[in-house]
Amino acid sequence: MALPDDIRSCTLRNTSFEFPGVKNIYHGKVRDVYDLGDQLLMVASDRISAFDHILPKSIPYKGQVLNQIAQHFLLATQDIVPNWLIATPDPNVSIGIKANAVKIEMVIRGYLAGHAWREYKAGRRLICGEVMPEGLKENDAFPSPIITPTTKASEGHDADISIADIQSQGIVSKEVWDQLAAYTQTLFAKGTEMALARGLILVDTKYEFGIIDGKIILIDEIHTPDSSRYFYADGYKSRQNAGLPQTQLSKEFVREWLIAHGFQGLEGQQMPDMPDEFCMGNIRSLYTAV
């Protein structure tokens, strides 16, 4: 498949549609959300974010890949928990039920990687009130998956929060929390099973939920490379035994590049400009191979 010389011309960076009956438009880090009253229309852009900041450059075709992966997993898990999705009329577009979003993200981790590893390496053994065992090395599996929720900030950074603080701050009731935790564990088990069937390990991910008519539903995306981290299962054990990095599918390489160039989204830090070769190299290789 041939790609245009200026591959960045293929990116969908921003939208400004005028749909009939739109009540409000929200431009998120990746999605543009059009409020249609009792439904939402979401356009998955080609923007990419890290550390809760949108990067200056976009990734060609990212939005449609993201949207279609999310659709695949939402349809595959609707027997576990009802979800928001009604239709996907375009590769970049999803339409679904509008619900009152629960103001926490349900992060679940099966392995010591990413943010959890950075905390562990700094000497901390508690994350969101969950104990991380001694003696682990980066990318080791936890004895069982742990839920490490974060706040869902309207602006700025999401932040780790413990179950105890969620309860004490009245974010959700114990009954709702128990149901969210049960859904999260079951969805993660299903995602793990589906990943292994494709030769992948689902390392960690996040789920977002909403409430409509008193019932909890799954909203937003699930099991995408934007919201999840995958390792290649083939060779995982040998790489761990040899102390080698794991081959993964996630945004971690973006975060690592930003960290190496002095940016973690902290106050006073300036976003570095990623070179085109870094942003576009993998896309060109993929499509050239196809």
Q: 97, 118, 147 — which closes off a domain?
A: 97
Instruction: Answer yes or no: is 272 within a domain.
Output: no
Question: Could you list the residue range(s) of the whole structural domain that residue 47 is in?
Answer: 7-97
Q: Is residue 126 part of a domain?
A: yes
- Do 108 and 248 belong together in one domain? yes
DSSP per-residue string spanning 86-147:
EEEEETTEEEEE--EE-SEEEEEEEES-HHHHHHHHTT--EETTEEPPTT--TTPEEEEEEE
Tokens of 110: 């099966």
| Residue 2 banded pLDDT, cuts 50, 70, 90 | very low
- The answer on 246 and 104 residing in a single domain is yes
CATH number at residue 127: 3.30.470.20
CATH number of the domain encompassing residue 52: 3.30.200.20
Same domain, 136 and 165: yes
pLDDT in tens, 90-119: 999 999 999 999 999 999 999 999 999 999
Q: Are 215 and 135 contained in the same domain?
A: yes
104 and 248 share one domain? yes
Backbone angles phi, psi at 250, to 5 degrees: -175, -175
| 264: in domain | no
**CA-CA-CA-CA torsion sign (83, 86, 87, 92):** negative
- 152-167 tens-digit pLDDT: 765 556 799 999 999 9
Res 283 pLDDT > 70: no
Q: Which tokens hold the place of 106?
A: 């349900």
What's the number of domains the chain is made of? 2
Predicted confidence (pLDDT) per residue in 3-51, tens digit: 455 555 678 888 989 888 899 999 988 999 999 999 999 999 998 888 8
Global pTM value:
0.85
Q: Distance between CA atoms of 136 and 119, rounded to whole angstroms?
A: 12
Check whether residue 85 and residue 116 sit in a common domain: no
